[in-house]
Amino acid sequence: MWQRFLHFFHRPAEDHSLLTEFEDSLMLIVDPEQLTSNLLSKLNELAAVEKALVYLAGRSESSQVFSLVDKADQAASGPPSLAANGIIIQWFRANREILVFEENEEVADYLHPELQPFLELGINLAFPLISMDRLIGIVFVALRQGPLDGIQLANLQVLSRQASLAFENALLFKERLRQNERMFRAEQLAMMGQFAAGIAHELRNPLTAIRSTIQYLESDFQEGTDPRKLAHDILDEVDRLNNIVGNLLSLAQPAESNPQELDVHQEIVRCVNFIEAKAKSQKVTLETDFEEDLPKLMFDPAELRQVLLNVMMNGLQAMPNGGTLLVGTSFLAAGSHDCPPDGRILIRIEDEGAGIPAGLRQKVLEPFFTTKTGGTGLGLAICNSIVKRYNGEIWIDEANGGGTRVRISLPRS
C-alpha cells in the first residue's frame, strides 16, 4: 500500500519546515474556523488538494454532532452531513487511522451508504482528529493527483496530531469564552433586574392613583367630547405603562411557577386559535407542522402560552400585509448538538416578514433591546428568561426564503 502512493507530499526538507511552521502557528490561533483555514492551507502546500472538508464535534462524547466548518469549506455547495452515531463516526472511533478508500475497498464497501456522498465529491481519503483519546473531528480530502508513499503518509499523521491538539485547545477556549459570557450576562441581568424592580415599585403606586383619578373625572365628561376622548387616551397610556411595569417585575422577580406535564401540540393549538382572528384580519395564513408522538413537556402552562403567544404575535406584527406563520415541532434525539441523553423538544415559529439583521438576532433577546418602533424590548427578554429557567434555549435565525425563524429547545418531561 505504501509504495502505491505518489506525489501527495513532496520535498521532505520543505515538508518538515512547513510542519514546524504549522505547529508554531497553532499557538497563536484559538478560533476553530481560522485553524481550519490554516490546516487546509498547509494541506494545499504539502499536497495537490482539490477540496477538503473539516468536520468538528461537540465537546460531549455522549452527544457529539459533527458539523462542517463552513468558512473553510472548499467543496461545492450542499456538502454531506455526518450522522452523530453513523458508521463513519463509529469506524474512526474504533480505528483512528488514515483511511485511503482505494486501498481499503472492504472498509469503503462497509461505509458505502454514508460514504457515497463524499465519493461523489471526489473525496479519496479521510483522517481523524484525536485528542485526549476522543474523536473531535474528521478531515475528508480530495487529491488532484496520485496516492501517497510512506513518507508522505507519515507527514500526514504528524499534521493530524498537530491539528488535533490545536482544535482541542480551540474548542476548550471557545467553551470557556461561552461560560464567561454566560456568567457576565447573568450578573448583568441580576443587576438590571434589581434596578428594574426598584423602578417598577416606585411607578406602580403613582400610576394606580392617576388611573383612579382619570376614571373618576371621565364620568363627568359627555360621550364623544374632546375631554372624554382625552381621558380615554390617558387611561390607555396608563394601562400601557402598567403593562411595562408588570413586565419589569416579571423580569426581575419571576412569579412562582407551577410546572405540569403538558401536550405541546395542545398548547400550540390553543395559542393558534387565540390569534386566529387577528391573523385573518391581516391576511396571514396559520400553518402547523407537528411531529407525531412528541414526548410530553414539563412546563407551567401559563408560562408556555406566554412564550408562544409573544413569539407568534411578533411574527404577525412582521407581516402587516399578509403572509404565512408556521408553527412546527420536532424531537431532537440524543446525539444532536448539546442534547441530553433523553433528547429535547424543538418548537419552531417561522414568519415571512422582513427578517432581523444577522448581527441583531440574538440581541433581541436582551432586555430593553428592540427593533420595533414603540417597543419596550421586554417581551422576548422575558420569554428567554422563562425558557432558561426550564433549562431551555431560544435561537433566532433566518427562515427559509427570508423572514424570521425562532427555535425554542426544551428538555422533555
Per residue in 350-383, pLDDT tens?
999 888 777 777 777 777 767 666 666 677 888 8
Q: What is the pLDDT of residue 35?
A: 77
- Domain 260-411 sits in CATH at 3.30.565.10
Instruction: Assign 198 a pLDDT band (cuts: 50, 70, 90).
Output: confident
The yes-or-no verdict on residue 60 having pLDDT over 50 is no
The yes-or-no verdict on residue 216 having pLDDT over 70 is yes
Residue predicted with more confidence, 196 or 120: 120
Residue predicted with more confidence, 384 or 265: 265
Q: Enter the C-alpha cell of residue 65.
A: 454532532
CA 134 to mean position of chain CA atoms: 24
Residue predicted with more confidence, 205 or 255: 205
The yes-or-no verdict on residue 314 having pLDDT over 60 is yes
Residue predicted with more confidence, 232 or 375: 232
* Residue 249, CA atoms < 13 Å, CB-side half-sphere: 13
For strand 297-299 and strand 125-131, is the pairing parallel, antiparallel, or unpaired? unpaired
Q: For the ranges 95-109, 132-146, 335-349, which has the lowest average pLDDT?
A: 335-349
Q: What is the pLDDT of residue 9?
A: 42
Render the burial of 297-318: b for 16+ CB within 10 Å, e for the rest. Answer: bebbeebbbbbbbbbbbbbbeb
Task: Report the C-alpha gap between 409 and 292 in whole angstroms.
Answer: 17
Q: CATH homologous superfamily of domain 2-177?
A: GAF domain (3.30.450.40)
The yes-or-no verdict on residue 126 having pLDDT over 80 is yes
Task: Report the C-alpha gap between 58 and 85 in whole angstroms.
Answer: 13
Q: Cell 411595562 identifies what position?
A: 244
Q: What is the pLDDT of residue 346?
A: 92
Query: Contact at 8 Å (CB) between 84 and 62?
Result: no
Q: Do the first three CATH levels of 2-177 and 260-411 match, i.e. the same topology?
A: no
Q: How do the domains of the chain map onto residue ranges?
A: 2-177, 189-252, 260-411
Q: For the ranges 9-13, 46-50, 55-59, 360-364, which has the lowest average pLDDT?
A: 9-13
Q: What is the pLDDT of residue 342?
A: 60
The yes-or-no verdict on residue 105 having pLDDT over 80 is yes
What average pLDDT does the segment 92-96 reach? 89
Q: What is the pLDDT of residue 220?
A: 83
Tens of pLDDT, residue by residue over 241-265, are 877 777 666 666 666 778 899 999 9
Q: What is the pLDDT of residue 150?
A: 72
Query: Contact at 8 Å (CB) between 32 and 23?
Result: no
Residue predicted with more confidence, 184 or 247: 184
Q: What is the pLDDT of residue 74?
A: 44
Q: For the ranges 70-79, 116-125, 226-235, which has the lowest average pLDDT?
A: 70-79
Q: What is the pLDDT of residue 7?
A: 42
Q: For the ranges 165-174, 229-238, 339-348, 381-390, which has the lowest average pLDDT?
A: 339-348
Give the residue among 254, 375, 241, 255 at the shortest CA–CA distance from 313. Answer: 375
Query: Contact at 8 Å (CB) between 288 and 269?
Result: yes
Q: What is the pLDDT of residue 102?
A: 84
Q: What is the pLDDT of residue 289?
A: 92
What order do you get walking across the sheet with 49-56 strand by strand? 67-68, 49-56, 134-143, 125-131, 99-100
Instruction: Assign 225 a pLDDT band (cuts: 50, 70, 90).
Output: confident
The yes-or-no verdict on residue 146 having pLDDT over 90 is no
Q: What is the pLDDT of residue 272?
A: 94
* Residue 40, CA atoms < 13 Å, CB-side half-sphere: 25
Work out the percent of the chain whose per-residue pLDDT is above 70: 77
Task: Report the C-alpha gap between 177 and 217 in whole angstroms.
Answer: 57
Q: Enter the C-alpha cell of residue 221.
A: 365628561
Tens of pLDDT, residue by residue over 323-343, are 999 999 998 765 444 455 467
CA 230 to mean position of chain CA atoms: 47
SS3 call for 407: strand
Distances in Å between the Cα of 157 and the Cα atoms of 26, 55, 103, 164 are 16, 17, 17, 10
Mean per-residue pLDDT of the chain = 78
Q: What is the pLDDT of residue 369?
A: 67
Residue predicted with more confidence, 82 or 196: 82
SS3 call for 382: helix
